Amino acid sequence: MSLTSYFLQQLINALSIGSLYALVAVGLAMVFGILRLINFAHGDLMMIAAYIATFALMSHIPLPIALIMMMVGTVMVGVLMERVAYRPIRKAPAVAALLTSFAVGQILQNSTLLVSRFAQQPVQIAFPQIDFLRGVVTIGDLTVSKVNIASLVIGLGLLFLLNQFITRTTLGLSMRAAAEDLQAAQLMGIDTNRVIVTAFAIGAFLASIAGLLYAVQAGTVNPDMGFTPVLKAFIAAVIGGFGSISGAVVGGYALAFLEVLLTAIPGLGDILPAATTSPSVISFFKTYLPGSLSSYRDAFVFVILIFLLLVRPGGILGTTDREGRQ
Amino acid sequence: MLQIDNIDVYYGKIQALKGVSLTVNDGELVALIGSNGAGKSTTLRTISGLLRPKQGSITYNGQPIDKLQSHDIVRLGIVHCPEGRRIFGSLSVNENLRLGAAAQTDKNLIERTRKDVYELFPRLSERGNQQAGTLSGGEQQMLAIGRAMMSQPKLLLLDEPSLGLAPLLVESVFDIIQRIKERGVTILLVEQNAWQALDIADRGYVMETGKITLSDSAAALLTNPQVEQAYLGGAV
Amino acid sequence: MAQTLKSNLQRNGFLILLGGLLLMIIGLESSGSSLWQGIFINLGLYIILVVALNLANGFTGVFSLGHIGFMALGAYISAILTLPLAQKRSYLPNLPAWLATMHFDTMIGPFPLGFLLATLIAGIIVMVVAFLVGGVLMRLSGSFVSVATLGFLVIVRVLLVNSSNITRGSRTFSNVTGYTDMWWVYIWVIIALFVIWRIKFSSFGRAMFAQREDIAAAESVGIVIMRPRLLAFVISAFFTAVAGALWAHFLTSFSPNAFYFDITFRVITMLVVGGMGSVTGSVLGPITITVIAEFLRRIEDSTRLYGISQIILASLFIFIIIYRPGGLMGEREIDFGWFWRRGRPSKPAFEGGGEQPSKT
């Protein structure tokens, strides 16, 4: 494999993972922007979506209907969670809501466990194959999996639609206003409850798509599959300046690039053709950047988060202050 | 039009308003003056639904509104232009104005109101696409009032519109308030700048530490020795 | 006059509780029921974890979600230390030489001195880690800093999983000697409760608690605030690590998965239910949740509805947050004088020691 192909492959990797992170991070950022709530159960929305799709497909429900069930179901759960768990504590300190979001996550995860048991399925279920997302596409010596391309295309498409919604519609405008100053928005005659529910609904919708793509990529679903993605999405949102939607998108891609960089650079040692680079460089790669660096990736990403919070709490786009306010 | 009866309002455990009563009649411009922390802003925020009174009632044209949500109160025609302007700095001037009309459905009416607002505030029409956060203090105040006008107010609550503005701008703000009154909008004006406020008002109330201490016609208040001493010494 | 009477009552009340605890332990020991002993030991460990977390949260103003990372470190460090030499060679063949030669399994008669030393060493090492981590964290603020503390949990886990030479990675770490028994646990429980009680009611303790909500004002006072807060955080980490060591030598086999999210949430639930800011709450919370959890576990076993206990506990948590966010005790402490005022004899009626009258 040539160096350029390797590079392109990793680029597509990064873009596709970035799209997933962005889809999830945007939902988190929208809710945080308006309510200052970090909804940890957001990752579990991805999980719910993946499970709905799994069970639907396993029951031989045709794909389009399964997808609709997935999207509607996830949005319903998202809206319900706002109504039952978050609305009553809107005036409480932020920590209360954060802890509550963990509790909501526990409920969702264990409910899924229960349902799996009823359906006589194991804890971890293999995700049913979706035909047109299966397999790879080869261009020259470049091999890209179809699901990566799909993630990229779908992700960008949805983000574009979201952008249109936010900038052109009154409801979208109301959401931006509410994120900046909730009280002032109320004084405009905007029904802020409706705006909040919309934020949850859109976030849940995007999370459902991300959940599906994630499940296809991973090949399996399990009740705690949402935990790592939501942590990553959180980091992505912070990188971009927590609360800003565009920031969340930038952060998502930035994080993906960072991660791919961490895993790709070690791999360079293996693909560098002996003839093009000096042996000492190759041995440098092999000894000091072993492939196992990638297993430290998750930890490293968190170190970055803490570093960012210390040095530039406003994120790269710098829209939030130290308290996480704008 | 607006009747506030004996309301008590608390911030947590601290009582901010004690037995406050006031009336605003159709077409009037009523001034609410007093020093910092007297409770004037709190009164407006209670009317617009951001706060709820623990005791007492607020009625608007006979209908009790003290338990309504803010957005419903706006739809009744009571529009609050808050202290500190609170414009949406990250959005453009036009977007801010559009938000003012967020609760409106009649597109023609919205357009006509927008033209009206541009007429009142020509500077805003020039700066339509500019980010609101980059406007000067005076322009932001114009935007805040303009945005409030977009909500089709029948009763306009203005909270310290002259705050932080240079004297020349203060003049134009009060000019505009008068022109708004001429358009038939009832106004409840909260101000620290007592002289200017009473100058354009029909009636006035004086507030101190959460209570109404004086209530009279504006002209009478202007010549009232207590008021003169406390609020008008060093006029303008 | 009433004041001395009250403080006498308080002292007597505590002594009576202590006596009750003693009776409880002796009773359980002799009963030979390892099931109930196990439940009681678990309870004690949770009490230590909760009161330590209470200390950290109450003083730093940052809700530390990654505290179990300290527990994990305490568990692994102490377990590695106490492995006898021969075991070490066969079980952990790739240990670095300096570790492979250490073995803290010496006994003095029936007393496992090695275990005590290993526990203390683990605690001290974790204190150093906490000093560094806390020093960083204390500069941050805002609710999403709590999420950053989750990062610590993840980082510890990743480190444990990747240091397979030392920790056996994600595989189970077993062959640990079961030194822990009820005496060990409850002596540490009493130490922890005592220390944290004293801190809370010390002069800076009172100041810290009062300022907890007003971090901005506290920050304006500057570094002076930092050091006591950091100290509190470090002490809290010490006890959390001790709990980890005790736990490791109770279960005798564990893996990094044990120190992740589920136990974190369980401890937080107990903390909230008991009352954040109350030492008494740190005892009542674990008791309440343990009782409920055991009850629910019986139901789970009989109905095979695994997961239902978690759902109910999480729902209880949400319910408490909405309707009684102060938990059982709020920030208050147990007041034995209450009995006197109600006209009851000062010797409270217990049902089997260890239970504490709660309503104040």
Cβ of A191 within 8 Å of Cβ of B71? The answer is yes
Cα→Cα distances A189→A26, A183, B49, C3, C105, Å: 26, 10, 11, 58, 72
Residue among A36, A98, A104 minimizing CB distance to C146: A98
pTM for this predicted structure? 0.84
DSSP A40-87: TTHHHHHHHHHHHHHHHHHTT--HHHHHHHHHHHHHHHHHHHIIIIIG
Residue among B50, B98, B151 minimizing CB distance to A189: B151
Q: What is the pLDDT of residue A80?
A: 96
Q: What is the pLDDT of residue C127?
A: 94
Query: B150: nearest CA in chain A?
Result: A188
Residue B7 has pLDDT above 80, yes or no: yes
Cα→Cα distances B172→B70, B136, B161, B178, C39, Å: 29, 15, 11, 10, 76
Nearest to A42 by CA among A101, A121, A123, A107: A101
The gap between the terminal CA atoms of chain B, to the nearest Å, is: 30
Cβ of B74 within 8 Å of Cβ of A177? The answer is no
Q: Considering chain B, what is the average pLDDT of its residues? A: 88
Q: What is the pLDDT of residue C357?
A: 38
Cβ of A96 within 8 Å of Cβ of C321? The answer is yes
Cβ of B87 within 8 Å of Cβ of A184? The answer is yes
> Hey, which residues 69-98 in chain C have their CB within 8 Å of chain A?
none
Question: Given the DSSP bridges, would you call strands B14-24 and B211-217 parallel, antiparallel or unpaired?
Answer: unpaired
Cβ of C63 within 8 Å of Cβ of A295? The answer is no
Distance from CA of B103 to the nearest CA of A (A): 5
For residue range B130-145, what is the model confidence (pLDDT) as tens digits? Answer: 888 898 888 899 999 9
Residue A65 has pLDDT above 50, yes or no: yes
Contacts of B82 in chain A (CB under 8 A): 183-184, 187
DSSP C272-302: HHH-TT-HHHHHHHHHHHHHHHHHHHHHHHH
> Hey, which residues 288-307 in chain C have their CB within 8 Å of chain A?
304-307
Residue among B50, B95, B103 minimizing CB distance to A189: B103
Question: Contact partners of A by the rule of 3+ C-beta pairs under 8 A?
Answer: B, C
Cβ of C307 within 8 Å of Cβ of A95? The answer is no
For residue range A275-300, what is the model confidence (pLDDT) as tens digits? Answer: 555 666 666 655 555 555 556 777 77
Span of A34-48, A151-165, A246-260, C212-226 with lowest mean pLDDT: C212-226
Contacts of A173 in chain B (CB under 8 A): 91, 95, 98-99, 102
DSSP C10-56: HHHHHHHHHHHHHHHHHHHHHH--HHHHHHHHHHHHHHHHHHHHHHH
Q: What is the pLDDT of residue A319?
A: 45
Cβ atoms of B111 and A200 within 8 Å: the answer is: no
For residue range A185-215, what is the model confidence (pLDDT) as tens digits? Answer: 999 889 999 999 999 999 999 999 999 999 9
Cα diameter, chain A: 70
Contacts of A34 in chain B (CB under 8 A): none
Residue B59 pairs in a beta bridge with B3, B64
Span of A256-265, B121-130, C89-98 with lowest mean pLDDT: C89-98
Span of A57-71, A98-112, C35-49, C332-346 with lowest mean pLDDT: C332-346
3-class state of residue B4 by DSSP: strand
Distance from CA of B222 to the nearest CA of A (A): 32
Residue A271 has pLDDT above 80, yes or no: no
Task: Please state the ipTM of this predicted complex.
Answer: 0.87
- Asked if B touches C (at least 3 Cβ pairs < 8 angstroms), the answer reads no
Residue among A85, A310, A322 minimizing CB distance to C318: A85
Question: Contact partners of B by the rule of 3+ C-beta pairs under 8 A?
Answer: A
Cβ of A189 within 8 Å of Cβ of B98? The answer is no
Element (H, E) at C305: none
Which pLDDT tens digits describe chain C residue by residue (360 residues)?
A: 556 666 776 777 778 788 888 888 888 777 777 888 888 899 999 999 999 999 888 766 678 889 999 999 999 999 888 888 777 777 777 777 777 777 777 777 777 788 888 899 999 999 999 999 888 877 776 666 787 788 888 889 888 888 877 888 888 888 788 888 888 889 999 999 988 888 888 766 666 665 555 555 555 555 445 577 788 889 999 999 999 999 999 998 898 988 988 899 999 999 989 888 788 888 999 999 999 999 998 888 888 888 888 899 999 999 998 988 877 777 677 665 555 554 433 333 322 333 333 333
Distance from CA of A83 to the nearest CA of C (A): 12
Side by side, the strands of the sheet bearing B63-64 are: B14-24, B2-11, B55-60, B63-64
Question: Tell me, what DSSP letter sits at residue B230?
Answer: I
Give me the mean pLDDT over the A130-144 stretch. 76
